[in-house]
Amino acid sequence: MANVLLGVTGSVAAVRVPALFDAFTAAGHAVKIVATNAATYFFDPAPLRASGVLTLDEDEWPGRDSGERYARGDEVLHIELRKWADVFAIAPLDANTLAKLAVGLCDNCLTCVWRAWDVSRPVVLAPAMNTLMWQHPFTRRHLRSIAADSGASHIPAHLADEALIAQINDRSKTLRIVSPVTKQLACGDVGIGGLADVSEVVAAVQFMLARAQAA
């Protein structure tokens, strides 16, 4: 059993958060979720909040709305989540958050966890976005930047998508990218960009945990 931190961003594919949570739990893992505020438009956060497993941005600053202030010794939530987790899986990963990860922006709890993450520990990214967003040159640039920071340097820029992801996964010992799939997307377009099947995301996490244990 491992501690799986599931990051969730504002892709329509966030509708599958309950299924992802159930699948990781069924695999025997303890699961916590950190979600962007945009992500909660696509799933009901109430049951997960009630069970204490879902963290939102406002949890980073408890009492702020009533005028409370940070006191020395208070927990820093994104650091506590990082300490707790054995693996960080962001599924779905939208285009906006992918860009933030690539350049190190940390303006919400999820991206703060990413920026504070120990890069020697495993990460799984499962992108999901519109086809033209996926095919935009920025996407490849951002993936290659993240890969370089994870030890997969010198990835050629000209590779086709599947070859690019295969090289990243082969060369990095701590990063695994789960390729999006071709399907009819929520917007009605047909093309690549859909979130991979829940079982594929879980399998990627299991693979990275096994690799980390063997290292």
Mean per-residue pLDDT for 70-98? 93
Q: Nearest 5°: CA angle at 206, between 4 and 186?
A: 75
CATH number for the segment(s) 3-214: 3.40.50.1950
Instruction: Give yes or no: 78 in active site.
Output: yes
- Which stretches of the chain are assigned E, i.e. beta strand? 3-8, 30-35, 54-55, 87-93, 123-127, 175-177, 181-184, 190-194
Render pLDDT for 144-185 as a digit per residue (tens, 0 to 9). Answer: 999 999 988 888 888 888 999 999 999 999 999 999 998 788
Whether residue 8 contacts residue 44, with contact meaning beta carbons closer than 8 Å, is answered with no
Q: What are phi and psi of 195, to 5 degrees?
A: -60, 135
* Segment 189-195 mean pLDDT: 89
Of 29, 78, 112, 142, which residue is the catalytic one?
78
* Among the listed residues 32, 79, 22, the one whose alpha carbon sits nearest the alpha carbon of residue 53: 32
User: What's the predicted TM-score (pTM) here?
Assistant: 0.95
pLDDT for res 107 = 96
Annotated catalytic, 112? no
Q: Could you tell me the residue ranges of all domains in the chain?
A: 3-214
14-23, 30-39, 53-62, 120-129: which has the minimum mean pLDDT? 53-62
Choosing from 29, 136, 158, 187, which is the catalytic residue? 187
